[in-house]
């Protein structure tokens, strides 16, 4: 059976991590979002928001981590591996803030090809800001548009997951994968 590497993406606060956590509970192989751990590690070092103060360093750390996740996912024995955000997310966020990035960021998007990409739309009812999420809801909507444009630029046909309960969203994902 061919391995399927599946990305779940979307703007901040759309329920991605909740879906991934539920998939883990159900026994699926999943890789978590790594930006939160990069942010929290920087905060331990005294840098409140690494993405805001050193966006290129932050993005390079994410790139390294997400490429590693992709490579590890390819080695997994499971037929399906779910990943919370993919490499193109990094470029979308850099475009959102208007920063430039080196050519190798594009090269990694070309080399790291996911089988299916699900995108979660902005959902104000569940949106919450916290210590690692600095964007407001209006910014989250703009980020969502950047994510869609970036993934489409790299040839992905995005599948939008409707809002609803976690179980309904997971059911939608599995129906779409059939």
CA distance 144 to 124: 13
Strands of the chain (E only): list them. 4-10, 29-31, 80-84, 116-120, 159-160
Q: What percent of the chain has pLDDT over 90?
A: 61
Sign of the torsion angle spanned by Cα atoms 57, 58, 63, 66: positive
Q: How confident is the model at residue 131 (pLDDT cuts 50, 70, 90)?
A: low
CA distance 99 to 133: 19
Q: What percent of the chain has pLDDT over 70?
A: 92
pLDDT tens sequence across 76-105: 999 999 999 999 999 998 999 888 888 999
Q: Which CATH fold topology does 4-177 show?
A: Rossmann fold (3.40.50)
């Amino acid at each position: 059976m061919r391995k399927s590497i599946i990305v779940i993406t979307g703007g901040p606060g759309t329920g991605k991590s909740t879906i991934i956590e539920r998939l883990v509970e159900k026994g699926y192989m999943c890789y978590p979002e790594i930006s939160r751990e990069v942010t929290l590690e920087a905060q331990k070092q005294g840098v409140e928001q690494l993405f805001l103060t050193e966006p290129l360093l932050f993005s390079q750390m994410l790139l390294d981590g997400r490429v590693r996740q992709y490579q590890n996912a390819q080695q997994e024995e499971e037929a399906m591996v779910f990943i919370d955000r993919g490499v193109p997310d990094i470029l979308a966020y850099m475009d959102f803030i208007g920063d430039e990035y080196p050519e190798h960021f594009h090269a990694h998007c070309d080399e790291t090809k996911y089988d299916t990409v699900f995108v979660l739309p902005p959902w104000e009812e569940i949106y919450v800001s916290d210590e690692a999420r600095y964007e407001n809801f209006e910014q989250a909507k703009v980020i969502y548009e950047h994510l869609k444009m970036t993934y489409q630029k790299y040839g992905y046909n995005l599948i939008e997951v409707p809002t609803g309960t976690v179980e309904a969203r997971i059911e939608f994902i599995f129906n779409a994968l059939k």
